[in-house]
Amino acid sequence: MTLKPWREIAEPHSDVREGKFQQAEFAADLSRVHAGTANEEYQNPALFYQRTFITEGMRLLLDSVIKRLAGRGGDPVIQLQTAFGGGKTHTMLAVYHLAKGEVPVSDMPGLSTLLDASGITELPRARVAVLDGNQSAPNQPFTPGSAGVSPASTKGRQDGGAPTIHTLWGDLAWQLGGAEGYALVADADASGTSPGKAVLETLLSRYAPCVILIDELVAYVRQFEDGKTLTGGSFDSNLSFIQALTEALKAVPTAVLLASLPESDKEAGSQRGVKALEALSHYFGRIQSLWKPVATEEAFEIVRRRLFSQITDRLAAETVCRAFADFYSTHRSDFPQDTQESRYLERLQHAYPIHPEVFDRLYEDWSSLDNFQRTRGVLKLMAKVIHRLWKDGNNDPMIMPGSLPLYDGDTRNDIIYYLPQGWDPVMDKDVDGERAETTDIDSQDTRFGSLQACRRCARAVFLGSAPSTAHQMVRGIELERVLLGAAVAGQPIGTYKDAIRRLGDRLHYLNHANNRFWFDTRPNLRREMEDRKRRFQDKEDVIPAIRDRVQKSFAPGLFAGVHVFTPSADIPDDWQMRLVVLPPDAHYSRSGHSVAEERAIDILKKRGEQPRFKQNRLIFLSPDYDNVARLRDLTRSMLAWQSIVSDIREMKLNLDQFQAKQANKSLEEANETLKRMVRETWKWLLAPVQDAKPGKGLSEIQWEAFPVNPGAPNLTQEIERVLKENELLITEWAPVHLLKLLRDWFWKDGVQEVSAVNVWQQTCQQLYLPRLLNDHVFHHTVQAGAESRDFFGLAQGKEENRYIGFSFGERTSVFLDTVLLIEPSVAKTYAAAIKEPPAQGTPPGSTPDAPAAGTPPSIDPSGTPGTGGTVTRTTQRHFYGTIDLDPVKAKMQFADIVDEVVQPFTTRAGVKVRIAVEIQADYSAGFDDGLQRAVRENCNVLRFRNAEFEEGEG
């Protein structure tokens, strides 16, 4: 349902609508009304009462005045003591027009009801005297004109003209009785001494019913210096006059006095003003009647009557109010508890077209400022707000805190006038205007811009938090009140929540803690943090900080070493199992290009500039591509908070206690967040593998990637679990698996035994072989297999054709450095042969052609033990090998040749190895001079025995 805008329902007064109002017009001036020179809305009794809402306090006061003037009781002295701008003068004007009776009571809305309630059919016209402390001068006598003198007072005035008046009592007597009345106090006026209670009682009795209105009395009395007499009397004589006047009023049943006194010492002014206030309060306090201040709900009506002429469509207004009440009820968890009460609908209706939250903030928060006037200040501000919104065609259903046109210079100047210095940059940069951050966010994000969500939230926060001070225990307004001031009925509440969160990240002067938000003239710590983030560089600051956090994530475990962001040259090429943690720029992604695999290949193949041989000893942990950018940002945030806390401790940054605590808390949160992010980022285990099939060679290196659970309590244990479950790392190995490995790769091509240490070393080097944790796993497997005849036989060595330290199916000590693993069928035959008894007829040990019992038989070249007689032995003493290398992969292939072929020879003492390299290059177009020169020079340096270029046919 579309709600009608307020401007189509409530029409402002013409002066508000057209912007013709003057700020001074909101200040009621009692003296100008008495002189007949005031603005029409104050001078005309009918118009004044049309725009005046009779509050509960005013009703009680007027009822007392009516009864007093009619002689039916009522208070003789009424003191109006409220805060500056609390409506004292406006109330005096209401009494003034009531007592003067210049228009019928029926023309003054609200008075007929009061008279009926008092049982009075007609109120007599009274004489009115107005004493204004701001108009009177203690040392400046004056001669009054006819203006300002009541009609009744001029009847007794003599033809001699007006006298020169010196004192308040002279002025009072002249206003009440003209020359005749003045004659009663003429001597006292001339001498500056109080006329006394009897004279004043006579004056009041003669001219009753009468009303005496004294405004700003302290402002007058505080001008008298101690011990000094002026034409207006002295400090003591004026106090004596007030004392005598209040006593005289008790004796005259149809006379009443209303006097206004400031509420606080600050409003009293100087020390003499405070002294005058204390003395006057003492005298008035004896018989005063304190006036009840304006309630917030009553202020709704006061402001509405003064600013708006009428509600043109009451049904539409009620529809809007009900829609807002239903909106708050539907989203009860997002709004303050008081919005859920049934009376909140009544508040909406009473305040319409202004939202009650505007009044609550102005009357509860802004009125706490010393120079903000409760009624006048609100009227002045709202008049400018309504004029600007009317001019700009604002279409909000109600005028809310989020509607305030703080982009308007006049409105902004009026509202920050009450605040300390320093709010201009806050308004320009953060709150509202063309250059404000809120405007930029709304313009970039259409979801926010369609509702002006960021600007509305910022305005609501400003209105609710600007009057607060740094000394308050709890600062700012709750998120619920921000939403109450910004969200319009029917709009998505989630958009406003997102907007305020966005503001918390972007704004320079917005602070938030414990679900409360406030603006401050000092930049917030978050903005300070954001500014500092830009100081930190990746290489010098961010990566070392990340490395430190990653390093702390690991605990002792299966790996002999965990290498965090370590260069390949510093990762050992040994027989130990090692985990290589790749840096943030070597990220892994299942869906896209993975830098991790390329970086891991480089580490896997090389140790610095040298080839790496134990490739099956490395497992890699890689960061997730999607998390790396966020990780870098969080690290910068942590470093920024760290620098702020450090500066606070070293007194380099001057912050209040709250901000210091907030900085420490933010650092703790940043560290915790970074810790979680590190776990979420390094989540991919990469294991290198190769496929090898007989006759088809090796495949390219491939990568198996497995995710690590970031929520696991121990990262090291979680990595080990993933490796074990996926058989990427073997911690326990059965002999049957070793048997299969030996048959597939070692007992081939006539070879029936193999060195155990060679098998172990091959598993460390070849990616197509199982990856064992360490040599202990291999040793235990060999030890377990040695006890059975199903897997292999063992020998500690082989001398010519005999096995030394042979065992088969027996528990024995295994030393990997020397033990041979023998094919089981060969071991079985050999074991049977060494247990056969000597041939019959031949004494044991006497026949040279047969071995003695228990002596290992000789082994023929095929590995089959001899059965007796003379054994022919053949000894291979020379080896020759030729291989063609791929010129592109020659470096890597040659490294493999050295490791796999040359190394077994060089490890045996006495073996002479000679390696010759033959290089032949042919080019039909012929080699150019530059290439020939470079190759010849390099060959000389490398000491080639022969290096020649030859001519040949193309």
Percent of the chain at pLDDT exceeding 90? 41
**What does the pLDDT average to over 117-126?**
83
Question: Which of helix, strand or coil describes residue 408?
Answer: coil
Range with the lowest mean pLDDT among 428-437, 770-779, 901-910, 935-944? 901-910
Confidence band, pLDDT 50/70/90 cuts, at residue 149 = very low
Helices 356-364 and 296-307 pack at an angle, to 10 degrees, of: 110
Rounded-to-10 torsion of CA 780, 783, 784, 785: 120
Q: What is the pLDDT of residue 949?
A: 83
pLDDT per position as a tens digit, 779-791: 999 999 998 999 9
Q: Is the link from the previous residue into 353 a cis peptide, with omega within 30 of 0?
A: yes
Whether the pLDDT of residue 47 is over 50: the answer is: yes
Q: Going by C-beta distance under 8 Å and a sequence separation of 6 or more, which residues neighbour residue 128?
A: 34, 96, 99, 100, 150, 175, 210, 211, 212, 213
Lowest mean pLDDT of 199-213, 310-324, 799-813, 868-882, name the range: 868-882
Most confident of 22-31, 97-106, 438-447, 876-885: 438-447
Q: Which of 257-271, 395-409, 570-584 has the lowest mean pLDDT?
A: 257-271
pLDDT attached to residue 84: 40
| Helix (H/G/I), strand (E/B), else coil: 555 | coil
User: Among 431-440, 472-481, 596-605, which stretch is predicted with the lowest mean pLDDT?
Assistant: 472-481
- The answer for residues whose C-beta is within 8 angstroms of residue 2's C-beta and 6 or more apart is none
- Show the tokens assigned to 105: 């009571």
Which uninterrupted H or E stretch holds 735? helix 735-745
Chain position carrying tokens 């004494």: 843
Is 249's pLDDT higher than 80? yes
Q: What is the pTM of this model?
A: 0.56
For position 954, what pLDDT does the model report? 52
> To which residue do tokens 């990566």 refer?
543
- Angle in degrees, CA 206, 207, 212, rounded to 5: 130
Q: Structure tokens of 421?
A: 């210095």
Nearest Cα residue to 857 out of 870, 846, 844: 870
Q: Which residue shows structure tokens 């909140």?
A: 344
Contact 688, 597 (CB under 8 A): no
Least confident of 192-196, 218-222, 238-242, 720-724: 218-222
- Given pLDDT bands bounded at 50, 70 and 90, which one contains residue 845? very low
Q: 204-218, 805-819, 919-933: which has the highest mean pLDDT?
A: 204-218
Omega within 30 of 0 (cis) for the link into 12: no
User: What is the pLDDT at residue 27?
Assistant: 58
The candidate with the shortest Cα–Cα distance to 772, out of 617, 643, 910, is 617
pLDDT at 889: 66
CA distance 232 to 141: 8
Residue with tokens 């928060």: 365
User: Looking at 764-768, 780-784, 834-838, which range is the least confident one?
Assistant: 834-838
320-357 pLDDT tens trace: 999 999 999 999 999 999 999 989 999 999 889 999 99
Region 926-943: mean pLDDT is 79
Residue 646: the pLDDT is 92
Q: Regarding predicted confidence, which is higher, 278 or 174?
A: 174
- Tokens, residue 88: 């004292």
The reported pLDDT for the residue numbered 853 is: 36
For residue 101, give the nearest of 130, 121, 65, 125 by alpha carbon: 125
How far is residue 366's CA from residue 469's CA, in Å, rounded to a whole number? 12
* Helix runs in 589-624, H state only: 595-605
Q: What's the one-letter identity of residue 598?
A: E
Q: What is the mean pLDDT of the chain?
A: 84
C-alpha gyration radius of the chain: 52
Of 719 and 651, the one with more pLDDT: 719
* Strand partners for 588: 624
The residue among 783, 859, 778, 851 whose CA lies nearest residue 826 is 859
- pLDDT reading at 363 higher than 90: no
Write down the pLDDT at residue 852: 38
Helix (H, G, I), strand (E, B) or coil at 799: strand
Q: Under DSSP, is residue 77 helix (H, G, I), strand (E, B) or coil?
A: strand
**When comparing pLDDT for 271 and 128, which is higher?**
128
Six token digits for residue 56:
């509960």
Helix (H, G, I), strand (E, B) or coil at 543: helix
CA 949 – CA 947 distance, rounded (Å)? 7
HSE, CB side, 13 Å, CA atoms: give it for residue 163: 24
**Residues in the chain, overall count:** 954
- The per-residue pLDDT for 207 is 93
User: pLDDT digit string (tens) for 614-669?
Assistant: 999 999 999 999 999 999 999 999 999 999 999 888 888 777 777 788 889 999 99
Q: What is the pLDDT of residue 147?
A: 38
Q: Let me know if 202 is exposed, middle or buried by CB neighbors in 10 A (0-12, 13-18, 19+).
A: middle
Q: If we measure between CA atoms, which residue out of 518, 527, 521, 474 comes closest to residue 500?
A: 518
Confidence of residue 851 (pLDDT cuts 50, 70, 90): very low
With a CB cutoff of 8 Å and minimum separation 6, the contacts of 35 are: 147, 148
Instruction: Judge contact between 496 and 456, C-beta under 8 A.
Output: yes
Reported as a pLDDT band with limits 50, 70 and 90, residue 148 is: very low
Q: How far apart are CA 591 and CA 589, in angstroms?
A: 5
Alpha helices by DSSP H, listed for 308-436, are 314-330, 343-351, 356-364, 376-392, 409-416, 424-426
Across 66-84, average pLDDT:
79
* pLDDT above 90 for 291: no
Structure tokens that stand for 362 in this block: 């102005």
